[in-house]
Structure 1
Amino acid sequence: MNRSNIEEVLPLAPLQEGLFFHAMADSDAAYTVQTILELEGALDPARLRAAAQALVDRHANLRTAFVVVPTGAVQVVLRQVDVPWTEAEAETVAGAGAGAGAGAGSGGSGPGVRGLAAAERARPFVMDAPPLIRFLLIRTGPRAHRLVITSHHILLDGWSAPLLLRDLFSLYAGVPAPRPRPYRDYLTWLAARNRDESLAVWRRVLDGLTEPTLLAATAPPTPATVPPTPATVPRTPAAPPTPMVGNAGEAGAGAPGGDVTAAAPDHIPVPLAADIQQRLRGLARDSGVTLSTVVQAAWAITLSRFVGRGDVVFGATVSGRPPEIAGVESMVGLFINTVPVRVTVDPAETVAALLGRLHRTQSETLDHHHLGLAEVQALTGLGALFDTLVVVESYPVDNAAIDRVRAALGVEITAARTEDATHYPLTLVADPGAELRLELEHHRGLLAPHRAREVGELLGEVFAAMVEAPDALPVARLAVAAPPRFAAENAAENVGPEHPVSFSSVVGVWDGVVAAG
């Protein structure tokens, strides 16, 4: 690394520490994120390549190398890097089925697209050789292309993905954009936090917890299994990465140790009738809480049924963007974190009372979401506290900026999909858009498929029951209790529990942003 090309040296954010640990352990395949865009129109490849280079020039954190120095792990921002750019032609197979290509549809792509994209995703990043983002443009027809953007999750969270795409196409279209606030400002904010104060808050929240809440036979690795980062590196020992909120909300880590595999998850929809969805929104409004709080309460009740006790813990992905940093909502980088959510389910308590209590606990920890998960879990002495995750997708979109870019683009983005990863055996993904969409992602190697389906079925029952009489109905009457020996039975049914699993979530990060009105 040429010293004259070094712009600055910065510490790592807590989640970056964990992701870097996994990368150094050669187990970072699950943290490769890939977005594939279908483009229709008179695209200028040379102009798009120049825009990709300008994008990397614009955002300093895209020019970052991750290295270990005598004092610990740091990120080194370079002044200039060349963007990795590849162009290819994909063979179009007449009559190919919809599953033959990546994002099959407009343009009709054959297996060449899928193979080229898979090869990009399989190619590992070298952490000290930035940029950890690369572009592949595949021509699939006279006026059809696929743009494949592959990056390491250590650079970006799901909130950042639409922002990055907006900037890329603004640069392509020549639409002026304000100067971005650098990721460095967030790291500076982190360094100024009172760590002892935050630890004290989490210690109170977790006080008295006697056991973790695990649905699968194999628990995630405990903090003790992770080599500590030298004390001179700010904040936390290196932790197993916490789930990313990304493109599905990002989900990313803290699950079983070992080598990462490339298996995709099973996806189990949790259908809710339209009237139930509307009443759930009304329940949140009348209770003075967010829909996210309602989702978390339902998940806590469901977990309580399956593990047979009232004191449960699960993970929740948080945006990690502190409102006191002006313009933080438009910053590009890795801000997300995973925090434990502890809920004591009192059978005699009403739904409304449970929601109010959960909201108060969340408010207590809101200013302390920045601590690394391993450091928080270490307070209990129990190791990993949970093996399920709740991700509620919610990204603000500047529709006016998107409209300006679309008008000047000259190319239509007809579809988009993103693949990211998580290691948790079971993840609940909630998209509270115009329609509340719920889906369970699970890996059958860690959780028997029929058990995952049982969880989804009971969760649907709980949601439906919560809206019946929230001010009067006790929690105990929300659903038929599942056998409390669930975890023990599941242990005998699991297959290959020693292997962690990468999840692959197909999410429309950009389609909701640029879809034709």
Structure 2
Amino acid sequence: MNFQTQSVPLTPVQEAMVAASSKRPWLYLEQIVCHLAQECLNPDILVAAFQSLVEQSPVLRLAIHSRGAAPPAQHIATPQDVAVETLDWAPVSPDDIRQQLQTFLETDRAKGCPLDAAPCFRLTLIRTGPTSSILVWSFPHALLDGRSFAPLLAQAFTNYEAIEVGRPSPIAPEVSNDAFLHHCAISEALDHAAGEAYFARTLDDWEGDTGLIDFRQEPGRKETLIQQLTTHETKALVSLAKATGVTLSTVVCAAWGIVLARFTGRADAVFGMTLSGRHLLENTKTALGCFIVTVPFRVKLDQDLSIGTLLRSVRKGQLEIRPFEHTPLAGLRRLTNVPPGKPLLESSLMFETASLDVRMQDYGDAWQHRRVELHEEDDLPLTVAAYQDEALRLEVEYDGKQVPQAPRLARYLKNLLCELAHAPPTTQLAQLSMLDEGERQRLEFLASATDTRVSEPCCITAFERQATHWPDRMALERIGGGKLTYGELDAAANALAQRLIDRGIAHGDVVGICATRSPAFVVAILAIWKAGAALGLS
């Protein structure tokens, strides 16, 4: 196929990114920030270096265009001239530079980035002193995934150094590789019947709507917080992974599943797992483009499970999913019991073997004196990115309105990983704590406190007293909709209790409930108790 004249379709992930950013331009915009403490770059040479980079790399000449009612497509376009915006912050103090940079990045992100003309990126060079500068490179995630950033950034600086001394620039083989376009063409031709069948099995009876996300709140701009383990803890987790025949990514995946399940009061968790997606073609491990995929991944728990058993089970699931990882995510919700209007995924997890800053240090001595930051924002309310640097780094990106409890979840994840680092593989999950020391002490105090007051003879009596005194007060409110006052709840429970009695339920019987977590679930519990029966729980 001649990619100079023919278009190729977007991958499902690219399509989702383009759709999301068309509504909220700040989404899926990548910002690479290079802090150059000992270099004040020349703007003209910088432009020439990136112009050469565009000519060297087919993926940087991609443009995405709409096709009316048909899905958008991409093609290699004739590139326009590269430009750079220059700013002079040399007179500004270091503290003010940090604040100004934050403000600049927010403003830059809000602009989004047009996709219909190549090259689809922006350069901003900020002079911060006589011998220091900051380079900001902004581009759409739909063009490049995380594995593509380091080779292109390194090639740009190689070009700069070559132009500066007047010699030809060597080109890394992966920079000129056009495998991504072949990947897109093959991806379009895939038959997803087997993948849909696989996910229908693994997501069978999954109801979603866990209460983790407050969907009454409109999506807002996201925040990022960072948790970091120690080098010693990271080495201990790697040792645990080796001892159980898995990888560190498996350990982090299992830990996130445990945190979500415990926090939402369930025995399992489903979340998005972002994978490299580089298995359709050979020799694409170092190819450049947006190969990544996101798949729903389910972690099933039993407190009697040992750490080793769970990790091996999770690893088995990670390997089984690989043949089906390109199954379009958009069509999978219909295969589950997730309520209409609610998303299949409420959070996602991404694992990389190194952060961008650490990757860049492999490109020579000059990078030991440069610091590289990566700023991202996707459209899920909660995203965890884990980087296996010398010390494991966790970046939790969250919508503070929809997931105000995200800081607690981030702490729980770190705490649980620290517990795993010090636990043998035979340890049962029930023995692992994810609580902070303060939370643990408060719970222990409550458990040991002695209450000398006369207790209510029955919780139903206490509830009915409340309903009699304050019938119009709100008793239940479900995230996303559904409310009952005490009077309404009591009346509904009485009606259902009478139906149970009419069907032969008697004092001492055990009654189970098969229902989603909702106000109706609470009505059923109260009705069982009012009928004199006991609630059967697994």
- What's the TM-score once normalised by structure 1's chain length? 0.73
Post-superposition offset of 1:368: 1.6
* Residue from 134, 144, 157 that aligns with 1:146: 134
Aligned pair count reads 427
CA, structure 1 residues 268+145, in 2 after alignment: closer, same or farther (shift >3 Å)?
closer
Post-superposition offset of 1:381: 4.6
Q: What's the secondary structure of 1:159's corresponding residue?
A: helix
* Residue from 238, 242, 246 that aligns with 1:289: 246
Higher relative contact order (CA 8 A, sep 6+): 1
Post-superposition offset of 1:71: 6.0
**Structure 1 residue 458 and structure 2 residue 406: aligned?**
no
User: Structure 1, residues 466-488: CA drift from partner, whole Å, max 9, x if none?
Assistant: 355544332223237999xxxx9
CA, structure 1 residues 35+458, in 2 after alignment: closer, same or farther (shift >3 Å)?
closer
CA contact (8 A) 1:61 1:77 kept: no
How far apart, in 2, do the equivalents of 1:399 and 1:308 lie? Answer: 37
Alignment match, 1:13: 11
Alignment match, 1:65: 63
Q: Which letter does structure 2 place at the counterpart of 1:320?
A: G
Q: What's the secondary structure of 2:27's corresponding residue?
A: helix
Alignment match, 1:321: 278
CA, structure 1 residues 400+438, in 2 after alignment: closer, same or farther (shift >3 Å)?
closer
User: Structure 1, residues 400-457: CA drift from partner, whole Å, max 9, x if none?
Assistant: 9977x647x8x98622222110233333332222112234333321122xx3343334
Alignment match, 1:189: 186
How far apart, in 1, do the equivalents of 2:360 and 2:434 lie? Answer: 49
CA contact (8 A) 1:57 1:80 kept: no
Post-superposition offset of 1:197: 1.8
CA, structure 1 residues 379+85, in 2 after alignment: closer, same or farther (shift >3 Å)?
same
Q: Which letter does structure 2 place at the counterpart of 1:73?
A: P
CA, structure 1 residues 272+125, in 2 after alignment: closer, same or farther (shift >3 Å)?
closer
Structure number with larger C-alpha Rg: 2
- Map of 1:101-500 to 2, 5 A cutoff? 101-102=97-98, 111=100, 117-172=105-160, 173=162, 174-178=169-173, 180-182=176-178, 183-218=180-215, 261=220, 263-269=221-227, 272=229, 274-322=231-279, 325-382=281-338, 383-394=342-353, 406=364, 414-448=370-404, 451-467=405-421, 470-479=424-433, 491=479
Q: What's the secondary structure of 2:176's corresponding residue?
A: coil
How far apart, in 2, do the equivalents of 1:465 and 1:412 lie? Answer: 33
Post-superposition offset of 1:180: 2.2
Post-superposition offset of 1:12: 0.5
- Identify the range of structure 1 (347-356 vs 188-197) with the bigger mean alpha-carbon deviation: 188-197
**Structure 1 residue 37 and structure 2 residue 25: aligned?**
no
Q: Which letter does structure 1 place at the counterpart of 2:147?
A: W
Q: Which letter does structure 2 place at the counterpart of 1:175?
A: P
Is there any run of 5+ residues in structure 1 with no aligned partner, and where? 103-109, 220-255, 493-517
Post-superposition offset of 1:283: 1.2
Q: Which letter does structure 1 place at the counterpart of 2:151?
A: L
CA contact (8 A) 2:20 2:27 kept: no
Alignment match, 1:500: none
Is there any run of 5+ residues in structure 2 with no aligned partner, and where? 163-168, 444-475, 481-538
User: Structure 1, residues 257-277: CA drift from partner, whole Å, max 9, x if none?
Assistant: x6x64x3414152x5455443
CA contact (8 A) 2:58 2:176 kept: no
User: Structure 1, residues 25-66: CA drift from partner, whole Å, max 9, x if none?
Assistant: x32322222112133336443232112112122222322232
User: Structure 1, residues 225-276: CA drift from partner, whole Å, max 9, x if none?
Assistant: xxxxxxxxxxxxxxxxxxxxxxxxxxxxxxx8x6x64x3414152x545544
- Identify the range of structure 1 (163-172 vs 67-76) with the bigger mean alpha-carbon deviation: 67-76
Post-superposition offset of 1:326: 3.3
Post-superposition offset of 1:332: 1.4
CA contact (8 A) 1:207 1:380 kept: yes
How far apart, in 1, do the equivalents of 2:230 and 2:477 lie? Answer: 32
CA contact (8 A) 1:214 1:386 kept: no
- What's the TM-score once normalised by structure 2's chain length? 0.71
How far apart, in 2, do the equivalents of 1:150 and 1:204 lie? Answer: 40
CA, structure 1 residues 51+413, in 2 after alignment: closer, same or farther (shift >3 Å)?
farther
Give the structure with the larger helix fraction.
2
How far apart, in 2, do the equivalents of 1:459 and 1:63 lie? Answer: 40
Alignment match, 2:488: none
- Identify the range of structure 1 (202-211 vs 161-170) with the bigger mean alpha-carbon deviation: 202-211
